[in-house]
């Protein structure tokens, strides 16, 4: 059990609610499963910091050999602070500013995934300004449908991400001819919550043809970065990564490039739960509501993506199960943590655990409705845990504001 009831009870008594609780052991188990299944390919696992950028979580992964995939100057700052080796950091994202590109170059990261011709020109300018040669990888858009939610589909033509193969050819020629650019890799990222290795296989086959053409044109790459996106079964464990390793393995070996993966959700989702407290129960026509002190500003995935998180009571009350919507105090009808959940009627004050909340939970949280953000806790041993981010206060809400 990732969240033993006795320990969670002690945590919430100390920290209050809502609170994110993460299991260090579970994160390491997930990384271990990846390492084991991909052993013959020896990839670099660059943790997608956006999934959960808490410094303690990041440090745990850095200490255990992972690299980082960052998508902003802020994430790069966090990754360096957490102790990731710069030579294991890659920088992705469709809109990096000149300052962010220069920051990445000064930091000596492994490479930068560029997503447009104009970004490549900006990178060249930044590298020239620093008298450096920028290691570049081009994010291709292989036009593969990963059959996932439209907001997390990124590898289809028509999305803002990556460039088509034809355009990618132009980017590589430009990089090859530049004194300040060195083409080192090829990248794709197809989307998130992908539950089959097929989309990866399709994208990889197209990428392999393209890489061979590049070789004929004198562009010899070192890295193949197949992104993240490996899914988590609705509300629970990561999908076993073995099937992914077996599917991509032969093509990767044949190409002979160093493999990079950018897992985010699959490493941390199941390792986190959001603990909330029952404030009130109420009825609205046929519907039963449990109103909790956790809301969409704490966990936006249900409202944003229609994500379904299992909800379990910390203490199971007697009585038959009733269907509830679990909603928060935010003034939006879309503010719910779960809908149509079966639970024995909880008492006021009862703790509910919203499971599989370790990824895109706190990192997507906000202060909407002027709600201070939740605390975060890392369980570090059987009976040990630490607050790894303090609950925000009302003062934090206005800390950056200037009175006029
Ligand atoms: C470029 C890139 N890499 C990796 C990831 C991580 O995806 P996931 O958390 O689904 O593994 C994302 C997520 O949006 C991404 O945009």
In the CATH hierarchy, which top-level class contains the domain 24-267?
A: alpha beta
Q: In this structure, which topology does domain 272-392 adopt according to CATH?
A: Lyase, Ornithine Decarboxylase; Chain A, domain 1 (2.40.37)
**Long-range contacts of the stretch 330-336 (C-beta < 8 A, 24+):** 330/295, 330/296, 330/297, 330/368, 330/369, 330/371, 331/369, 332/296, 332/303, 334/296, 334/303, 335/295, 335/296, 335/303, 336/296, 336/302, 336/303
For ligand 1, what atom is nearest to the CA of residue 265? Answer: 9
Cβ of 265 closer than 6 Å to ligand 1, yes or no, is: yes
Cβ of 358 closer than 6 Å to ligand 1, yes or no, is: no
For range 230-251, the mean pLDDT: 91
Cβ of 48 closer than 6 Å to ligand 1, yes or no, is: yes
Average pLDDT in the chain: 96
Residue 152 has pLDDT above 70, yes or no: no
pLDDT digits (tens, 9 = 90+) for 304-361: 999 999 999 999 999 999 999 999 999 999 999 999 999 999 999 999 999 999 999 9
Distance 323 CA to ligand 1 centre (A): 34
Ligand 1 probe mutation, 47, 79, 189, 239, most atoms within 8 A of CB? 189
Cβ of 192 closer than 6 Å to ligand 1, yes or no, is: yes
Separation CA 341–CA 357 (nearest Å)? 16
- Residue ranges of domains in the chain: 24-267, 272-392
HEC letters along 188-220: CCCECCECCCHHHHHHHHHHHHHHHHHHHCCCC
What's the pLDDT at 398?
98
> Cβ–Cβ contacts within 10 Å for residue 330, how many?
18
Separation CA 300–CA 19 (nearest Å)? 15
Residue 257 has pLDDT above 70, yes or no: yes
Nearest to 259 by CA among 56, 4, 40: 40
Separation CA 404–CA 390 (nearest Å)? 29
Distance 247 CA to ligand 1 centre (A): 19
What's the pLDDT at 235?
63
- What does the block give as tokens for 391? 């609950």
What's the pLDDT at 114?
98
For range 300-304, the mean pLDDT: 96
What's the pLDDT at 395?
98
């Amino acid at each position: 059990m990732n969240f033993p009831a006795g320990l969670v009870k002690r945590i919430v008594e100390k920290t209050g609610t809502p609170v994110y609780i993460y299991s260090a052991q579970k994160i390491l188990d997930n990384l271990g499963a990846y390492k084991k299944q991909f052993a013959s390919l020896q990839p670099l696992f660059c943790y997608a910091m956006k999934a959960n950028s808490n410094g303690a979580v990041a440090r745990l992964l850095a200490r255990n050999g992972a690299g980082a995939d960052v998508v902003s100057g802020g994430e790069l700052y966090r990754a360096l602070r957490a102790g990731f080796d710069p030579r294991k950091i890659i920088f992705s994202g469709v809109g990096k500013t000149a300052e962010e590109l220069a920051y990445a170059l000064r930091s000596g990261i492994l490479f930068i995934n560029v997503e447009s011709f104009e970004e490549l020109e900006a990178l060249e300018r930044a590298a020239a300004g620093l008298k450096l040669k920028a290691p570049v990888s081009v994010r291709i858009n292989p036009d593969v449908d990963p059959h996932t939610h439209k907001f997390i589909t990124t590898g289809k033509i028509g999305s803002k991400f990556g460039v088509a193969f034809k355009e990618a050819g132009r980017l590589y020629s430009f990089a090859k001819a530049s004194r300040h650019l060195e083409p080192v890799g090829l990248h794709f990222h197809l989307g998130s919550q992908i539950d089959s290795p097929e989309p990866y296989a399709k994208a990889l086959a197209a990428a392999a043809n393209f890489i061979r053409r590049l070789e004929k044109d004198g562009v010899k790459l070192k890295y193949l970065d197949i992104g993240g996106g490996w899914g988590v079964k609705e509300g629970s464990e990561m999908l076993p990564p073995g099937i992914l390793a077996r599917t991509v393995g032969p093509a990767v070996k044949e190409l002979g490039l160093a493999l990079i993966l950018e897992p985010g959700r699959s490493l941390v989702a199941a390792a986190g739960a959001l603990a909330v407290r029952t404030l009130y129960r109420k009825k609205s026509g046929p519907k039963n509501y449990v109103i909790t002190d956790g809301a969409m500003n704490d966990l936006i995935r249900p409202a944003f993506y229609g994500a379904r998180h299992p909800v379990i009571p910390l203490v199971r009350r007697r009585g038959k199960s009733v269907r509830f919507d679990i909603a928060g105090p935010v003034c939006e009808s879309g503010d719910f943590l779960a809908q149509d959940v079966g639970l024995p009627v909880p008492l006021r004050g009862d703790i509910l655990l919203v499971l599989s909340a370790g990824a895109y939970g706190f990192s997507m949280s906000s202060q909407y409705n002027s709600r201070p953000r939740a605390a975060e806790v890392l369980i570090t041993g059987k009976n040990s845990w630490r607050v790894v981010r303090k609950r925000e206060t009302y003062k934090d809400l206005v800390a950056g504001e200037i009175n006029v």
